[in-house]
Structure 1
């Protein structure tokens, strides 16, 4: 962490996979390989629909009754295959610049994810903007991932902000539902592959194509409420 991190009472909470890093489809492929290895062929579109969901719920929805017996093995394989795709990960358009801009405007940038520490470390290396990130959460901070609001509450606790002083940015329906349950304004991005209509229906007050589009319209976006003068 940088000593230059703002001590603001305002925070932008960011999902990472599919929001800041182009990794959702790498997750899909990793899960598909893992499921095939434990004896289940699962169509890619079904996996994609579950990306961002708490892993136990993802496994239940895709493996059914076999989740209890095969789930841990599938999780371990997924992690191996996903981390093995590190060279294919890259920041999404505008992600780094958006983080830098918010930091420069006095907003705490918090990575609000429940990714395992090992995965989060790789994602942070890919983003390569650690000096502009105030805090981050991981799977070690919560018992349940999104749509449970625990991730957002942990992120707000880290940043010492209240729900009305935070805005969540994410790409998944699960992000939107978690934000709603935490009482946090949610802004959606399309870069994870979920439609504008679904994000809006789940609670997004605004939807942008990606981080670059959000940065280009920052002053008129819900994030403008967080900006310093």
Structure 2
């Protein structure tokens, strides 16, 4: 039984995954590194420190890693105006809060981006805490951000809600179960294989079925 709900933000509450992929592709092209969008998309959910070597190799990371991450920020900034919240995001957060859970919105994004995303779902009015890239030394699939999120509210036990296999893997390293939504583009099978305890097509479907999930009631 859990007392804390840890919601991934990018790709789970706000529709950002394809903007992330496009921004990374444009950043790579600045350094004459060509990777197809589908390959980049498969790594979205990782932090930039892990994404660059995963997609482009360790040599590119060593030669251009920090510059690529700076270029990605510039490219992503240009796409911020295209980003929208997923249907039912705020309502689901309200539902979870009303059921007695501490609520943490966990992002490894830049603080200026996280502010925009939280405003899109009116998250600051509901969340007990939130995270940014400044809160963890290493990013998903390492578990640092998840443990930081739980510690911010002194939670005893958590439930992770995410959209990617990387969310599931990071949480599982702390023995925290994950409920997944398919907004990250991963299949039901992939998410279950990574360790997700339940998978929903959307936040709306998730909320409608919440009584049958670990988020039905918080521990007292």
Same-fold status (TM-score > 0.5):
yes
Cα distance, 1:227 vs. partner? 7.3
Matching residue of 1:190? 182
Residue in 2 aligned with 1:215?
A: 207
Please say which of residues 21-30 and 78-87 is displaced more in the overlay. Answer: 78-87
TM-score norm. by structure 1 comes to: 0.91
Give the drift of 1:40. 1.0
Normalized per residue, the structure richer in helix is: 1
Partners of 2:217 and 2:195 lie apart in 1 by 18
Q: Distance in 2 between matches of 1:177 and 1:101?
A: 26
Partner residue of 1:78?
Answer: 72
Q: Deviations over 1:164-214 (max 9, x none)?
A: xx2100011110011110111111110111111111000101000121111
Distance (Å, rounded) in 1 between the aligned partners of 2:5 and 2:54: 31
Pair 144,96 (structure 1): closer, same or farther in 2 beyond 3 Å: same
Q: Output aligned runs, 1:115-126, within 5 Å.
A: 115-126=109-120
- CA shift for structure 1 position 154: 0.5
TM-score normalised over the length of structure 2 = 0.94
Q: Distance in 2 between the 1:83 and 1:103 partners?
A: 31
Matched, 1:162 2:156: yes
Q: Which residue of 1 aligns with 2:15?
A: 22
Q: Which runs of 5+ in 1 are unaligned?
A: 1-8
Structure 1 residue corresponding to 2:192, chosen from 180, 193, 200: 200
Work out the CA distance in 1 between the residues paired with 2:177 and 2:216.
12
Residue 144 (structure 1) aligns with: 138
What is the alpha-carbon distance in structure 1 between the residues aligned to residue 116 and residue 123 of structure 2? Answer: 12
Offset of residue 140 of structure 1: 1.1
Counterpart-to-counterpart distance in 1, 2:177 and 2:215? 9
Q: Tell me the secondary structure at the aligned position of residue 14 of structure 1.
A: strand
Q: Which residue of 2 is the match for residue 39 of structure 1?
A: 32
Q: Distance in 1 between matches of 2:71 and 2:119?
A: 22
Q: Distance in 1 between matches of 2:81 and 2:133?
A: 23
Runs of 4+ aligned residues of structure 1 deviating over 3 Å after TM superposition are none
The answer to whether residue 132 in structure 2 is matched with residue 130 in structure 1 is no
SS in 2 for 1:132: coil
Q: Distance in 2 between matches of 1:73 and 1:127?
A: 31
In the alignment, which residue of structure 1 is the partner of 2:82? 88
Structure 2 match to 1:5: none
Unaligned runs of 5+ in 2: none
Q: CA deviation at 1:89?
A: 0.7
Provide the secondary structure at the position in 1 that maps to 2:93: helix
Q: Which digits, 9 at most, give the CA deviation of each residue in 1:45-65, with x for residues without a partner?
A: 110010011322210022211
Cα distance in 2 for residues equivalent to 1:225 and 1:127: 22
SS at match of 2:180: strand
Shift of 1:225: 4.1
Q: 1:90 to 1:227 in 2, by over 3 A?
A: farther
Equivalent-residue separation in structure 1 for 2:182 and 2:204 (angstroms): 11
